[in-house]
Structure 1
Amino acid sequence: MSNYGMTATLAAVLLGLSGSLAAAPITVNDDYVGSDAGTYGDVVGEDDYFDISSMVVAQNGSQFDFTVNTNFAGQSGTLFNDLTLGGTGIGYGDLFLANQWTPEQSVPTPGDNSENGYDKDDATNGTKWTWGLMLSDRYENGGGDVTLFQLLGTSNLDTAILSDQLMTGGAWRYGQEVTIKDGNQELVVNYGSVGSWSLGTGQLNISADLASSDLMDGDSLAFHWGMTCANDVIEGEVDLKKVPEPGTIGLVSLALAGMFIMRRRSKAA
């Protein structure tokens, strides 16, 4: 192979590695019910207030964009203030993450609102969340920062505040992890700001770089999100696009540079 041909081949390999960092967005529909469905089923209360239809996850290397399609977008801090702790109203919950989704399942019985077999799943069983993205200004609708936390407790109860701990009355889905409990620095480790959140029409958008976590080491990414009352919750997982090791790209780049130098010397001779 000529120097030119080898150079072109190495360039193609390098471009391929760079292109492999991005993955097409994946849409996960809200097929999760969660515990305490009662007679409500998927959404406790009014669909117009709380319904979550899907989560769209887009990955580019370690950068992730999570788009929650929900009727709750734009309503934080405005609903049922008299039924919430401190009169804050219902706010945006944090995004809980892990490498594997293992929800507590049960055998569905026709007519019992457990059509997807997750009606027993709550913070005490199922998936152990190992990382979380905390939203600043959760009771406002102007967006804010997103902070990454590692969750080191033996159970979700060590590291999460539950929906029933933020509500004082009314109807809500209890037992669901909704915000990160960041008081114990030994169990909840702050990795700093890694992104931001914002609102679109019927959408909550969370953008974050997960490079400082170990989530990229797995084959999949599991997630859990709901508003602080958990009147609707979405859970699921998506496949991860593996990020090439920095050393691999560095070696290819070095080889490519060497080929260019060889080619230039050949021309000069």
Structure 2
Amino acid sequence: MKNLFSVVIAACLAFATAGASASGISDIGVNGYWGGDGHGYNDVIGNSTYDIQGATITRVGSILTVTIATNFAGHAGTQPGSAPGGIGYGDVFLSKIWNPFGTDSHHANDNAANGTLWNYGMSLDNRWSNTGGDFKLYKLNGATNAANIYNSEKFMTCDIGSECYYRNGQATAVNRGSSTVADTGLTGKWSVTTDQELRFVINIASSDLMNFASFAMHWGETCQNDVIEGAVSMVPTPGSIPLIALGLGALLFWRHRQVTAE
């Protein structure tokens, strides 16, 4: 009986201390993020291949997962005439606070120069891979985004306005050669589900991301033809007291049945 009691308590505490939390960002509808420099195309420049529907951010214990629902999943390398290697996957940017420019619901004038200062970047090992791979987590220490990142113009070679349109001025990739960018030593895995989603998973145990009560994020293709930005709060799952109470209740019920049977 004593051993069983200990097992139940340990199991309850394990679930409780896992710190599971999750929240989502929608990129559709009246509150969907557009971002600036869209050249009159509003949400999505080009065809629906670039469309982003939303994202979820979950943290279970020290495991952080960012999942992005997008039609572009599995289509890196498209439009090779507009950029070397074609259009690829951008890096994921994170911050504790979301501070977009403007008060309109779509933040239609927000960009890397006037919006959120990103604190971390998940830099992909091969942004043209349609099977996924590894990424490194970098701390972005510069006072401006320009000190830490590359915008979409770094990747696109077509003449905007005459040969192509893309969303310029948007945070696209970590500038790993910048003196204000530091490798945290942490690596994660990213994966692709064609036509559905991109998923980024990393253990952040030794990072101050563990202390974030909320996350702001930014992601788009290297052309940034669609961009998702927003912020989520980490809402915890039920805590230890309800879980322990549930476990003890079940244990007492089982014990009562045992005594009755005797």
Say yes or no: TM over 0.5: yes
Report the counterpart of residue 76 of structure 1 in structure 2: 76
- Partners of 2:147 and 2:65 lie apart in 1 by 27
Unmatched 5+ stretches in structure 2: 159-163, 237-262
The letter for the 1-side match of 2:136 is T
Report the counterpart of residue 97 of structure 2 in structure 1: 100
Q: Let me know the Cα RMSD of the aligned residues.
A: 2.4
Match of 1:142 among 131, 140, 145: 131
- Contact 1:216 1:240 survives alignment (8 Å): no
Is 1:55 aligned to 2:55, yes or no?
yes
- Partners of 2:202 and 2:121 lie apart in 1 by 11
The letter for the 2-side match of 1:161 is Y
Report the counterpart of residue 264 of structure 1 in structure 2: none
- Contact 1:161 1:178 survives alignment (8 Å): yes
Is 1:128 aligned to 2:120, yes or no?
no
- Contact 1:59 1:241 survives alignment (8 Å): no
Give aligned pairs, total.
227
Deviations 1:172-202 (A, max 9, x none): 0010001000002x31111234210111131
Measured after TM superposition, the shift of residue 127 of structure 1 is 1.0
Secondary structure class of the residue paired with 1:15: helix
Deviations 1:131-168 (A, max 9, x none): 11111111121211111100011111111100122112
Is 1:221 aligned to 2:215, yes or no?
yes
Unmatched 5+ stretches in structure 1: 108-115, 243-269
TM-score (structure 2 length as normaliser)? 0.79
- Contact 2:23 2:235 survives alignment (8 Å): no
Report the counterpart of residue 231 of structure 2 in structure 1: 237
Measured after TM superposition, the shift of residue 39 of structure 1 is 1.9
Match of 1:118 among 78, 96, 107: 107
Measured after TM superposition, the shift of residue 26 of structure 1 is 2.4
TM-score (structure 1 length as normaliser)? 0.77
Deviations 1:75-105 (A, max 9, x none): 112x111111xx2111111010111111112
Measured after TM superposition, the shift of residue 239 of structure 1 is 1.4
Greater Cα shift, 167-176 or 207-216: 207-216
Measured after TM superposition, the shift of residue 62 of structure 1 is 1.9
Measured after TM superposition, the shift of residue 19 of structure 1 is 2.4
- Contact 2:51 2:71 survives alignment (8 Å): yes
